[in-house]
Amino acid sequence: MKQKSFLFNLVLCFLFGAAMILPQDQTDPVEITVTVENNFDGGGLAKVGVDVPPIQVNCPYTTKIKVGQTLNLEAIENQTPDGYTWIWNTTQSGKKSNWSKLFISVSNTPFVYTKATSVVVKKTDDGAIFVSNQTKICNLSFQGSLNGATAPAKISFNGTQYNLPATIQALYGSENTVQGVTQELNHISFALTSWSDGGALSKTINTSQHQSYTAVFKGTAIWSETERGIGHYAFISSDYGEYVKLNWNEHPNSNVAYKVVCDGTVGGRPYNYTKTINHGTTTYTDPILISVKDATLDNRVTYNVYPLYVPDNTINQSLTGSEVVLVEVCKQAAKNTNQNAVVTQYAVANYPNPFNPTTVVNYQVPQAGRVTLKVYDIMGREIATLVDENKEAGSYNVNFSMDKYRLSSGVYFCRMIAGKTMITNKMILSK
């Protein structure tokens, strides 16, 4: 009987003892520490709740939680802690926003890509940092204008056109393509010529921060041969024996001037210059050369008129329609002429050479200043002073006739002194 009583008491002890231990394990689980923060320097806001809907907290936020409880998390986007707006990025392939779990000695490992999530914590989560990894938005600012036009300049950003100035938002780490949009406005073609930071005209921007860019556009006048009125027998209007005269039609854009370009040889010597004609004038007469029916290859000059877009100082020299003219120097061209040419060097020459009885002395000076032009015989005696005055930079000519000085056949020298430059040209009088 005593043995049965002992066994019964042993069973009761076992049963009551087990009952007392089990509730103690369930009501007092292991407590751990976790932290919640954002990837922008750990600061900002987030929503956190333990077994309850999350509420807004300041980050970094550290809390105690028991193993088996649910940690409810929700990211808060559109925060601006550092001058950038941070968002929950769901579109950028390979760079989408996520929640990750970080341990001090272990790399940051994403575990979910939804803005709101729940985690049943484990004992191994002790010391974990749950990070809301968001993406910042960068502002890309673009400037640019069209000189002489009221319409805005345009760019194409990833295939979408924007009027300038424009600020375009781009995700950090995104790769974007931007290029200028060519526009034709009032017979002017505006095209991108450079970027403020250099590089290719079609620019690839790997976005990492706020950035400003300036697009430089330049206009080029559009002018067809028909619109110019330039063509065979239409451009050169002078008759044989008259000064070479050029005619063209007015360009429809009032910001366009004209660049007359002359290039050729006269008497075997180079004869070339450029002259700018203002808008409103559609004719130009060469001050020295006359048109002739027949001439040698040494007396051929090519003329052309190119449109000059004044606001950008651009010349459209891709146009055709130039005219080749057979010429000779007019022997009656006694009047000094400043051709307003683009002169880059000092020069003096006469044509014809040999001469009898008159020759035209052509000279050019690249800088304004005092110019003297004198004729000497072979013994060095001064025969005549043709020029002794101040001159602007340009090309000039003056007549010299032997009749006035009763010269004999022989060699003479024409010497020009301009500033510190002296040039001597040999002339031959042949009766």
Model confidence over 320-371: pLDDT tens digits? 666 677 666 654 443 344 444 456 778 888 877 888 888 888 888 888 899 9
Angle formed at CA 286 by CA 282 and CA 291, multiple of 5 degrees: 110
Confidence label for 139 from pLDDT (cuts 50, 70 and 90) = very high
- Residue 260 pairs in a beta bridge with 275, 305
Which positions ≥6 away from 370 have C-beta within 8 Å?
389, 390, 391, 418, 419
**What's phi and psi for 227, nearest 5 deg?**
-65, -35
Which positions ≥6 away from 105 have C-beta within 8 Å?
none
Confidence label for 28 from pLDDT (cuts 50, 70 and 90) = low
Q: What average pLDDT does the segment 29-45 reach? A: 91
Q: What average pLDDT does the segment 39-66 reach? A: 93
Confidence label for 402 from pLDDT (cuts 50, 70 and 90) = confident
Confidence label for 296 from pLDDT (cuts 50, 70 and 90) = low
- Position with higher pLDDT, 17 vs 148: 148
Query: Is the per-residue pLDDT at 172 higher than 90?
Result: yes
Give the helix, strand, coil percentages of the chain, each rounded to 5.
Answer: 10, 50, 40
Cα Rg of the chain, angstroms: 45
pLDDT at residue 105, rounded to an integer: 61
pLDDT at residue 236, rounded to an integer: 65
Is 215 within 8 Å of 192 (Cβ atoms)?
yes
Average pLDDT of the chain is 85
Amino acid at 300: R
pLDDT at residue 295, rounded to an integer: 58
Which stretch of 11-20, 65-74, 142-151, 391-400 has the lowest confidence by average pLDDT? 11-20
pLDDT at residue 15, rounded to an integer: 46
**CATH number given to 225-330:** 2.60.40.10
Which positions ≥6 away from 279 have C-beta within 8 Å?
250, 251, 254, 255, 256, 257, 258, 310
pLDDT at residue 3, rounded to an integer: 47
**CATH number given to 137-221:** 2.60.40
Is 230 within 8 Å of 302 (Cβ atoms)?
no
Domain locations in the chain as residue ranges: 31-133, 137-221, 225-330, 336-431
Which stretch of 41-55, 189-203, 279-293 has the lowest confidence by average pLDDT? 279-293
- 242-276 pLDDT, tens digit each: 778 888 899 999 999 999 888 888 877 778 888 88
Q: What average pLDDT does the segment 77-104 reach? A: 92
* Reported CATH class of domain 336-431: mainly beta
- 301-318 pLDDT, tens digit each: 888 889 999 999 999 988
| H runs (alpha helix) in 96-165 | none
Query: Is the per-residue pLDDT at 182 higher than 90?
Result: yes
pLDDT at residue 36, rounded to an integer: 96
- 187-245 pLDDT, tens digit each: 999 999 999 998 899 999 999 999 999 999 999 999 887 787 765 444 666 666 777 88
pLDDT at residue 23, rounded to an integer: 46
Is 280 within 8 Å of 249 (Cβ atoms)?
no
Helix or strand holding residue 326 (H, E): strand 323-329
Please tell me if the domain spanning 137-221 has the same topology as the one spanning 336-431: yes
Is 309 within 8 Å of 219 (Cβ atoms)?
yes
Which stretch of 15-29, 87-101, 342-356 has the lowest confidence by average pLDDT? 15-29
Is 323 within 8 Å of 304 (Cβ atoms)?
yes
Is 25 within 8 Å of 19 (Cβ atoms)?
no
Pairing verdict, β 135-143 and 211-221:
parallel
pLDDT at residue 174, rounded to an integer: 95
